[in-house]
């Protein structure tokens, strides 16, 4: 049973979190009130801890601030409500149809590499062409849980084979920094610092057009050029599923396509 003091603390805890998220998203009270279907006056009272919002309003505010499902659950808890979004384990029966579908997608992407990862690059599954990326990597980097981003830039991972390591690695780091801005997490900040420490300095020249460049990867006597696509589960209602993404590597030129097709034929 909660005490009176605990019940009184709930609005102020929620108010502090709501102000933090609204400030981080650079959204005014007026704009957030419009998005969430409430009045600026009521929202002002909520942010001052003078009014306790209903669960539906908390969910609308979280959606309007574009919080992840995990962050929405956390916001609900600060408002004194139970989480509304389930968090299944990957091996749960409920996710079996999703796992089967993802495995089929990865097989269908052969002869090109495809992986499924959790936030911060933790590997969940990969197709057989994944060996193109792991070739020559130190065994300790391939022990579960494998981190794809660390593997990509670590000097005992892919890094010695990446021809454009400074630019490709900075592409990875900048994407993580962008995520850290929208979804602050001390663990992520520490991980970004670790990855940055593996990379050589990169100073963009006058013709720099961004970090969205093909990965140039040596593979024995061959040189591959790969581009990537990311697929996420934007409409997922389960926390675990919403945090997964599928990364598929595609050949950026005919020679890369030929090499990967031949390697797949040799494995079959």
Supply the CATH classification number for the domain 4-78: 1.10.260.40
- Same fold for the pair 4-78 and 93-267: no
Domain boundary assignment for the chain? 4-78, 93-267
Chain-centre distance for alpha carbon 95: 19
pLDDT per residue as tens digits for the range 8-62: 555 789 999 999 999 999 999 999 999 999 999 999 999 999 999 999 999 999 9
Tokens of 249: 């590597």
Strand duo 114-117 + 123-126: pairing: antiparallel
Rg over CA atoms, the chain: 22
Number of C-beta neighbours around residue 227 at 10 A:
15
Average pLDDT over residues 84-101: 89
- What pTM value is reported for the model? 0.84
The count of residues in the chain is 268
Secondary-structure class of domain 93-267 per CATH: alpha beta
pLDDT per residue as tens digits for the range 167-213: 899 989 988 998 888 888 888 889 999 999 999 887 766 655 555 67
Q: 54-57 — which CB contacts under 8 Å span 24+ positions?
A: 55/79, 55/81, 55/84
């Amino acid at each position: 049973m909660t005490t009176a003091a605990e019940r009184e603390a709930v609005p102020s805890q929620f108010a502090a979190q709501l102000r933090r998220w609204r400030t981080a998203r650079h959204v005014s009270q007026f704009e957030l009130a419009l998005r969430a279907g409430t009045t600026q006056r009521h929202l002002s009272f909520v942010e001052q801890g003078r009014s306790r919002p209903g669960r539906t309003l908390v969910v609308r505010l979280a959606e309007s601030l574009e919080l992840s499902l995990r962050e929405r659950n956390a916001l609900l808890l600060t408002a004194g409500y139970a989480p509304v979004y389930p968090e299944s384990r990957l091996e749960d029966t409920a996710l079996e149809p999703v796992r089967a579908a993802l495995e089929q997608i990865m097989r269908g992407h052969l002869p090109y590499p495809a992986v499924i990862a959790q936030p911060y690059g933790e590997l969940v599954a990969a197709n057989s062409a994944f060996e193109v990326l792991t070739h020559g990597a130190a065994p300790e980097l391939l022990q579960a849980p494998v981190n794809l981003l660390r593997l990509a830039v670590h000097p005992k991972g892919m890094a010695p084979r990446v021809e454009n390591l400074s630019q490709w690695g900075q592409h990875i780091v900048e994407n993580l920094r962008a995520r850290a801005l929208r979804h602050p997490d001390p663990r992520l900040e520490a991980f970004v610092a670790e990855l940055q420490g593996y990379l050589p300095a990169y100073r963009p020249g006058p013709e720099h057009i961004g970090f969205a460049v093909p990965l140039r990867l040596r593979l024995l006597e061959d040189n591959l050029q790969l581009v990537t696509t990311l697929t996420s589960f934007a409409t997922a209602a389960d926390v675990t599923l919403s945090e997964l993404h599928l990364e598929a590597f595609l050949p950026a030129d005919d020679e890369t396509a030929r090499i990967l097709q031949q390697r797949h034929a040799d494995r079959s």
